[in-house]
Structures are given as structure tokens and as C-alpha cells.
Structure 1
Amino acid sequence: MVAVINSGRSLHNIFNYNENKVKAGVAKFILASNYPMDTEELTLAHKLNRLLNQAKLNENVKRNSIHISLNFAVGENISENNLKAIASEYMETIGFGEQPFLVYQHNDASHPHIHIITTKIQADGSRIDTQNIGKNRSEPARKAIEKKYNLVEAEKQKKQENPLKPMDLIGEGATKLETKNAIAKVLNAVLDTYNYTSIPELNAVLKNYHIVADRGTEQSRVYQKNGLYYRLLDKQGNKICTPIKASLFQQNPGLKFLEKQFTQNEKFRNAYRTLLKSRIDDLLKSNTIQSIHELKERLEKENIQLICRINPDGIIYGLTYIDHQNKYVFNGSKLGKSYSAKAVQERFESMPLRQLSRSKEEVLSGGKIHLEPLVSSPDYFKNTFVEVLLQAENYYDPLPFQLKKTRRKKRRKKQNTRL
């Protein structure tokens, strides 16, 4: 059993998330604990207001909501009664046994799982301390429940989990709800797992799943209002299906959320930046690699994905490196000037520029594109590779630097005309 605990600012959001699943027929409300009425008698208002009223007892606590998911291994058949018992025992062990909480059984994934909603504000207005709750309380609770109910252990379950595959996620004729659920699965797997510091770096990973974070054009209303959409892409990278506002997802992964992630992620990048540069340098110094295509293949063997951004004329103008083993994404310019597209291509001076500027398919995949990335698997590059073309952080401009300079106009000194 794998337990995931998230705190948040809005009980409304996590409540609506689960109730919308029920409305869509992919979840079932199975338990209300510490409510004055039986589970079957509760209305939507009863469920939510009990939590809201308790949270109001201490309005100084901003992050007052708790959303927990208990995930079981694929193939485990757990009865509804056992799910209720597991939820109650888990909440008791982590210190939330006296809190009002709601339990939902979800059926929208290959593995069985339940979601639990509660608040950290107690009946006397005090706050339950959730610092290190995962290590100090959740882990002991999880292990005890696994043993009592003979469940697959979390460590073994993680090894058995099937990674997301874009071909399994959705089709072009999907409804808006199906599109949203498919994108949500990928966002949950990527946003808190990979280290990225810009939208193009995030999109480098998301596009492996045919998903893109889209701000629109600079003239669009979405861009000017600092909005963000998530969209599905087809095999050619074209946008398909209805775009979904970031605010409609549980995490609300909009621009404000991402900017916080960028700042936080930047603090932990230096050590991995140095490590990645060292691995690239070792390959470039070997003298056995004579093209970007060969460099790409060698990096694949080390679980590093090299993405070449190509303009309409077939010229490579940007590189992005994704270390899938350590979950770090770097635009070439952020690694350093010597790792940019221009600098790397200059290392292969013996190779004609025309050969470096072959078609996208030839340069990126040798003529064959596969569409089943296994992001969490160390064997990611053995059988799969996806062409990912990102928008440039610095657009390609063929005009030489010298011609961009403008002459400064000299000021004419005023002559003293006074006598």
C-alpha cells in the first residue's frame, strides 16, 4: 500500500474533485466518519459543511485541508468493508481518528485506491501538527495495515507499477472529462517528480506524453491574464481536444504554482548540473562521436534524453537534456554556453552543416518514432523514444551579430554664440 498525503488551502476543491468523480461514475462515496448522521443519509451540503465548520474554528491556519490517497497494488481485490476498515485504522494511527473525514473509492485507474478528505483543525480549535507525518506516523501505519490485511508492500508495489503510456491515455474523440482525467494522471506523475525551472523545460517532459502546458500567444487574453491551459497533442505534435484550464485540476498547476516550483527547483540544481555536464563531457572527449545524432544515441544508453529543437528549415537551434534517472531537465544554455546547440555542433566541424540539418525524423530518431515512453523505468531508452519539439527560449535568428549593431549618433557640441 502506498500512502500519499497532501495539505491544501481549499476544502471546496478537494471535495468537488471527489464528488465530480462520483458524478462521472468513476468513484463511490463509501464512508463518513465522526458525522452526526449515517453515511447513506448525508447530502452534499452535510458532507462539506461539517468540514468547513470545523476548519473555521481556527481561521489563522491557511493550509487547513488534508487530502490522502491510499493506493493498492494492481490485481489486489479488496472488499468495500475492508477499505472502510483500512481507512479508519490508518486515520486513527496517524492521529486523525477523532477528525471528521470522508472516504471515496476510485475506479479510474488500473490499481485500486481510495481518497480521504479531512481537516487538520481539531474540535477545540487547535491544529494537528503534520510536520514529518509521512515518516513518523504514516509509514508505521502503512506497514501495520499491510501485514494485517496481507497487502502488497509499498516497496514491491512501486516496482510492479506500470508506467503511464500515452497510447493508453486517451483518443482524439475523448470527452472533456476524459481529457482532463488523462492529463491529470500525467501531471500527478511529473509536476512533483522532475526538476525544471521554465515552462519549456517542463514541456520537454510533458510532450513525451503528448501533453503541453500552453500560455497562448502574447496577444492572447490567456497570456495577458497570466493564464495557462494544458492540452493534448497528436503524434505529429498538433494540439487536439478541448484545452483544460489549469485551475480545474486538483493542484491548480497554473502559472503562479509553476513559478513557485521554478524558484524552489533552482535551489537544488547545481550539484546535478555539474554531474550532467561531466557525463556529457566524457562522451564528447571520447572522439568516437562525430554528430549530434551519435551523441543522442550514446546519451540514451545512460538514460539521458537529448531533445533537438529544429526550425522549419531543418536547422537545429536548441538542445534540451532530460536526465530521467535523476529527474532533472536542463535547457542547453542553462548548462553553459558549451552545451548549447551552436557550441555542440561546432565540435563536429568535420561534419558538413547540410548533414547536420537533415529532416527531423533522420536527426532525431533515425526515421522511426516510438510513442510509449517509460519515464519511471531505467530501461526507458531501450525500446522507446519520442520526438519532442519545444518552442525556443531564444528564437533562431540567421542575422549575424555584427549587422545588428546600430551606430551611435554623436552629439554635436553647441557653439558658444555669446559675445
Structure 2
Amino acid sequence: MVAVIKTGHSIRRIFHYNENKVLENVAVLIGAENYPLDAEKLSQKTKLSILERQLALNANVSRNSVHVSLNFDPSENNLDQEKLVAIANRYMQGIGFANQPYLIYQHHDAGHPHIHIVSIKVKADGKRIDMNNIGRNQSEASRKAIEKEFNLVRAEDQKKQLYIVKPVSPEVVYYGKVQSKRAIQNVLDFVIGNYRYASLPELNAILRQFNVQAERGAEDSRTFQRNGLYYRIIDSHQNPIGIPIKASSFYSKPTLQYLSNRYAENDQKRQSFKQRVKNAIDLLLKERRISIQELSTALQKQGITLCQRLSNKNELYGITYVDHTTKCVFNGSVLGKAYSAKGMQERCFVQKISEQDLLTIPSHPAQKETGLPLLQTAEAAIAEVTIATAKPEGANMLESFGKDILESLLQPANATDYVPGQFKKNKKKRKKRNKPNSNQ
């Protein structure tokens, strides 16, 4: 048996994580210890309120929630609910939580049998339970005793295969295909607690990969002025879809204040992982100069996503790196000037259209998609050539070439002085007027 203990700031988050599993039919509540009623007679509101009322006795305990998972060998899939509850009770007694209210859930969402136990660190008299070194001391002793008592496969005999239950990566959210609030909540549960970010733009760099975005609203809006926050679904082009949902309406309360409280801790934890991202970029740019798009593709193979922030004019003004291996997020400027948007544009080159593309401007995609006149399409094509933050040698020559192309496009085709006879107007002959003879 392998035991994993985690503590957290929100009992609601842990509670609803397990309750949602029940709603999805991949878990079942099998025990409610130190509750006034049996598990099957408790409403969801009652189960949570008892935990929250006891937590209110000591508001000074910040990490007040406890989430335990007991994981068994795959061969032990014949453990019935009665035996699982007995194992859970024996374990909670061994770590000093026998008198605490706790809920026991049996999960069926993994390849091995396991149970989850939800409890709190505040006692009925308001005192805090000390959990320092509890995993190394009380938990280990309790685990070994349970393995003997219930004849379970020993953790040491499982060939070091740890059955640690990790949050399941949520699917990308598509508006209209799923219930919006539930889908956003799944993404928030996965991202907020697992990734290390130190600002709202850094958090959004991750959320947008799941088609979710956090917004504060316009600066003159009530939401912004009151430090509010809401979440909404976006499409593949990052355009908002549907109705925004207030952060306070989610059970985990991922408000702006809650996120801000995590920034300093996250920033400290991610410091040692900066060099990995910097090294990956430096190695790719060491031997040759590549485009930002090529760099992004190469980094993706190493588990690093390069997120570009573009203006309305499609100009790059920001870069954020999401390292999915270390679960760390870095704005480019955090890594250093050389890794910021400006620095990367100086180190990379921007891909432009070729001279051959300019010669075929009438079939330019922009004209097909927008139906713009040829003049506007040609101007757009030349803009693609001339707009570059780091111009290579000969850029001015190419710009001049583009202008010449535009002038030639605006000239009338097959110009000639020939005019058909039927369109010629007959000139009237002017009559000569006799001038008076001055000699007369």
C-alpha cells in the first residue's frame, strides 16, 4: 500500500474534486466518520458545512485541509467497501486523525484500486493538528502495520511503482459541447494548483491552451475598479464566446485576491527552473538563426510552449514560455532581456513573403478571404515585407522593390494610342474670317 498526504488552503476544492468524481460515476462515497448521520443520508451541503464550521474555530490555520490517498496493488482489486473503510479508519487513527470528521471515497478512475480521504487540521476544540514530518513518521508506521494486519502487498514489494493519484489533465473546452461552468472549473482545478505563475498574463498563457481566459474587464468597469475577475471560454483565435462567469461563483473561489496571494510563493518555487528554459532556447539559436515559428516548434518537442502576444496590427509585443515538464511559466522579461519579445525578434528573423509571392499578388490569400480590392491587397502584401522588427541586410532594397510592384500594378494594362474610328469625333473646320485690310 502506498499512502500520499497533501494539505491545501481550500477544503471546498478538495471536497468538490471528490464530489464531482461521484457525479461523473467514477467514484462513490463509502464512509463519513464522526458525522451525525450515515454517509448515504448526508446531503452535499451538510457534508461540507460540518467541515467548514469546525475550520472556523481557528482562522489562523492557512493550510487547513487534508487530502489522503491510499493506493493498493493492481492485484488487490477484490477489496470490498467494508474492508476499505476499515483500512481508512485504521490509517486515520495511526496518523492522529481518529476524532476528526472525514469522508472516504472509493475511486475507479485509475488502473489500480485506491481511496481518497478528505479531512481538516482543526480539532473540535479549535487547536491545530501538527503535521510536521507526519508522512515520514506516523504515516509510514501506520502503513506498515496495515499491510500486516490486512495482508496487503507491501509497498517495498511493488518494484517501486508508486500509484500516486495526480489530477487528470482536462480536455480543451469547446463552447456549446460541454456545460460551460463545469468545463471551466475542471481547467481551473488542474492549472491553478499545479502550475507556478506569478502574474495574471502568465496564468492566461496556460488557460488559453484550454480555450479558457481570465479577464478583469475594462479599466473604467466596476469589475476592474473593485478588483473583480471573471472567466470565460474563448475560441481557437482567442475571441471571447459566451457569457463570462464571476470568479466568486466557482466553488474554489479563484478570485484575483486568491491568485495574488499565490504569486510570491510560486515565483520562489520556479526560480531553480529558469535555466532549463534559457538553455533550451540558447542551444536552438546557437548555430543558426531561425524564425520564431521554427523556435516555437522546436521548443514544443521539449515540452515548452512559446506563447506570443500580438497587437491588433498583428505585431508581436510579448512572449511567455510555459514549461509543462516543470509546470513553470515565465514571461520573457523574467528570464532576461534576451528572451523578451524585443530580444527574441533581434535574435530570430521574421518570416516574410518572397519576391515570387509579390509577383502573384492578385491571388494573395487576403484578397480571397476579405474580398478587398487589389490595391488594398497589394498594400497589405508590401506591409508584410516592410514590417519587421529586425530587418536583414537588403530590406530597404526589398521595400523599394515592393513599391515598384505596386506602381506597376496600378498602371493600365496594354496602353495604346489607337482609338477606333467610330469613337473619333469629327473636328469642325474653323472658317477663316477675312481680316479688314488696313490699307483701305
Q: TM-score, normalised by structure 2?
A: 0.63
Letter in 1 for 2:33: S
Where does residue 327 of structure 1 map in the other structure?
A: 327
Give the SS at the match of 1:122: coil
Letter in 2 for 1:276: V
| TM-superposition CA deviations, 1:251-310 (whole Å, max 9, x none) | 422111211211122234444334433432233232x23321222233233332222222
Measured at CA, do residues 272 and 232 of structure 1 come closer, stay the same or move farther in structure 2, by a change above 3 Å? same
| TM-superposition CA deviations, 1:66-99 (whole Å, max 9, x none) | 3425275898855432432332233122210132
1:164 is aligned, of 153, 160, 169, to 169
Q: Residue 231 of structure 2 contacts residue 247 of structure 2 at CA under 8 Å; is this kept in 1? A: yes
Measured at CA, do residues 91 and 173 of structure 1 come closer, stay the same or move farther in structure 2, by a change above 3 Å? same
In structure 1, what is the Cα distance between the partners aligned to 2:53 and 2:290? 67
Where does residue 68 of structure 1 map in the other structure?
A: 67
In structure 2, what is the Cα distance between the partners aligned to 1:185 and 1:65? 22
In structure 2, what is the Cα distance between the partners aligned to 1:72 and 1:347? 49
Residue 144 (structure 1) shift: 6.5
Q: Residue 174 of structure 2 contacts residue 235 of structure 2 at CA under 8 Å; is this kept in 1? A: no
Residue 7 (structure 1) shift: 4.2
Letter in 2 for 1:129: D
Q: Residue 296 of structure 2 contacts residue 306 of structure 2 at CA under 8 Å; is this kept in 1? A: yes
Where does residue 127 of structure 1 map in the other structure?
A: 128
| TM-superposition CA deviations, 1:199-241 (whole Å, max 9, x none) | 1111112222222222222233322221222333333333345
Where does residue 190 of structure 2 map in the other structure?
A: 189
Letter in 2 for 1:325: T
Residue 198 (structure 1) shift: 0.9
Matches within 5 A, 1:104-115: 104-105=105-106, 114-115=115-116
Q: Residue 289 of structure 1 contacts residue 295 of structure 1 at CA under 8 Å; is this kept in 2? A: no
Letter in 2 for 1:233: I
Higher relative contact order (CA 8 A, sep 6+): 1
In structure 2, what is the Cα distance between the partners aligned to 1:142 and 1:323? 35
| TM-superposition CA deviations, 1:176-202 (whole Å, max 9, x none) | 5xx32x333333332233221111111
Letter in 2 for 1:232: I
Where does residue 247 of structure 2 map in the other structure?
A: 246
Measured at CA, do residues 311 and 132 of structure 1 come closer, stay the same or move farther in structure 2, by a change above 3 Å? same
Where does residue 343 of structure 1 map in the other structure?
A: 343
Give the SS at the match of 1:166: coil
Measured at CA, do residues 341 and 44 of structure 1 come closer, stay the same or move farther in structure 2, by a change above 3 Å? closer
Where does residue 294 of structure 2 map in the other structure?
A: 294
Unaligned runs of 5+ in 1: 359-397, 399-419
Measured at CA, do residues 324 and 227 of structure 1 come closer, stay the same or move farther in structure 2, by a change above 3 Å? same
| TM-superposition CA deviations, 1:137-164 (whole Å, max 9, x none) | 4455567667854599696366997952
Where does residue 402 of structure 1 map in the other structure?
A: none
Measured at CA, do residues 72 and 251 of structure 1 come closer, stay the same or move farther in structure 2, by a change above 3 Å? farther
Q: Residue 64 of structure 1 contacts residue 119 of structure 1 at CA under 8 Å; is this kept in 2? A: no
Pick the structure with greater CA Rg: 2
In structure 2, what is the Cα distance between the partners aligned to 1:45 and 1:210? 31
Q: Residue 319 of structure 2 contacts residue 341 of structure 2 at CA under 8 Å; is this kept in 1? A: yes
Letter in 1 for 2:248: S
Letter in 1 for 2:291: S
The alignment yields a C-alpha RMSD, in angstroms, of 4.3
| TM-superposition CA deviations, 1:86-116 (whole Å, max 9, x none) | 3223312221013232334567899876553
Give the SS at the match of 2:194: coil
Give the SS at the match of 1:307: strand
Q: Residue 30 of structure 1 contacts residue 84 of structure 1 at CA under 8 Å; is this kept in 2? A: yes
Measured at CA, do residues 116 and 247 of structure 1 come closer, stay the same or move farther in structure 2, by a change above 3 Å? farther
Q: Which moved more, 1:123-132 or 1:198-207?
A: 123-132
Letter in 2 for 1:156: Q
Residue 41 (structure 1) shift: 5.4
Q: Which moved more, 1:319-328 or 1:112-121?
A: 112-121
Q: Residue 174 of structure 2 contacts residue 211 of structure 2 at CA under 8 Å; is this kept in 1? A: no
In structure 2, what is the Cα distance between the partners aligned to 1:87 and 1:203? 39
Unaligned runs of 5+ in 2: 358-388, 390-440
In structure 2, what is the Cα distance between the partners aligned to 1:74 and 1:170? 37
Measured at CA, do residues 91 and 249 of structure 1 come closer, stay the same or move farther in structure 2, by a change above 3 Å? farther
| TM-superposition CA deviations, 1:354-386 (whole Å, max 9, x none) | 67xx9xxxxxxxxxxxxxxxxxxxxxxxxxxxx
Where does residue 280 of structure 1 map in the other structure?
A: 281
Determine what percentage of the aligned residue pairs are the same residue. 41
Measured at CA, do residues 123 and 194 of structure 1 come closer, stay the same or move farther in structure 2, by a change above 3 Å? closer
Tell me, yes or no, if structure 1 residue 88 matches structure 2 residue 89. Answer: yes
